[in-house]
């Protein structure tokens, strides 16, 4: 991909990241609370203003996530995508992930749980995505300042994705269990997460 395009994407990612950072002070405490307890995700989603700011921040931070993943080759090149630029591969992986997750949510919504409670559990992933991008951005800054090796930074970023995704799954499970019980909550987790997890996280564990 031409250097000019990479520079434009980098500037765009920086601008959207700064915009997302400007929202963080208003939702930061709620996001940190989501790490500690599952009820904070419910409270955040119940607030119209906070949930809107949360959703806006998640979309604004997406370019930064894609750029960091592509810069450090988080998702390795596999056939038939070997010849494609890293940013294109990464964007494609994430687009397929969102598509599969959306289809799973559409197919399995409404079984033993209300629409409101279902989307409360589903949207908690946005809370952890915002947290993840800030952690990854901090790792990038530390790597840049101290001159860490590319491979080391890549491995650290990959494990950050895995760990934050795991915490997200735990909190989502707790929300489902609260509304529909342990067995139904576990079944929801399996049906909604197996395919998306396979697309987004499994490649990182197999690197």
pTM over 0.85? The answer is: yes
Cβ contacts of residue 103 below 8 Å, gap of 6+?
A: none
Q: What is the pLDDT of residue 117?
A: 83
Name the 3-class secondary structure at 162.
Answer: helix
Candidates 207, 135, 122, 206; CA nearest to 169 is 122
pLDDT tens for the chain, residues 1 to 207:
556 777 888 899 999 999 999 998 999 999 999 999 999 999 999 999 999 999 999 999 999 999 998 888 887 665 556 667 788 888 888 888 888 888 888 877 656 778 888 888 888 999 999 999 999 999 999 999 999 999 999 999 989 998 998 899 899 989 988 888 888 778 777 777 777 777 777 667 666
The gap from C-alpha 50 to its chain's centroid, in whole angstroms, comes to 18
Q: What is the pLDDT of residue 38?
A: 92
Q: What is the pLDDT of residue 119?
A: 85
């Amino acid at each position: 991909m031409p250097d000019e395009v990479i520079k434009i994407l980098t500037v765009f990612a920086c601008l959207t990241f700064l915009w997302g950072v400007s929202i963080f002070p208003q939702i930061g405490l709620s996001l940190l609370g989501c790490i500690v307890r599952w009820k904070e995700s419910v409270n955040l989603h119940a607030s119209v203003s906070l949930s809107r700011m949360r959703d806006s921040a998640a979309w604004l931070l997406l370019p930064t996530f894609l750029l960091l993943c592509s810069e450090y080759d988080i998702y390795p090149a596999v056939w038939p995508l070997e010849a494609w630029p890293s940013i294109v591969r990464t964007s494609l992986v994430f687009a397929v992930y969102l598509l599969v997750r959306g289809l799973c949510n559409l197919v399995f919504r409404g079984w033993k749980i209300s629409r409101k409670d279902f989307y409360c559990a589903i949207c908690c992933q946005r809370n952890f995505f915002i947290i993840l991008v800030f952690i990854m951005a901090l790792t990038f800054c530390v790597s840049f300042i101290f001159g860490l090796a590319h491979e080391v930074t890549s491995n650290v970023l990959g494990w950050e994705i895995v760990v934050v995704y795991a915490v997200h799954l735990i909190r989502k499970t707790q929300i489902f269990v609260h509304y529909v019980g342990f067995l139904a909550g576990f079944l929801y987790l399996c049906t909604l997460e197996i395919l998306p997890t396979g697309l987004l996280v499994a490649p990182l564990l197999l690197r």
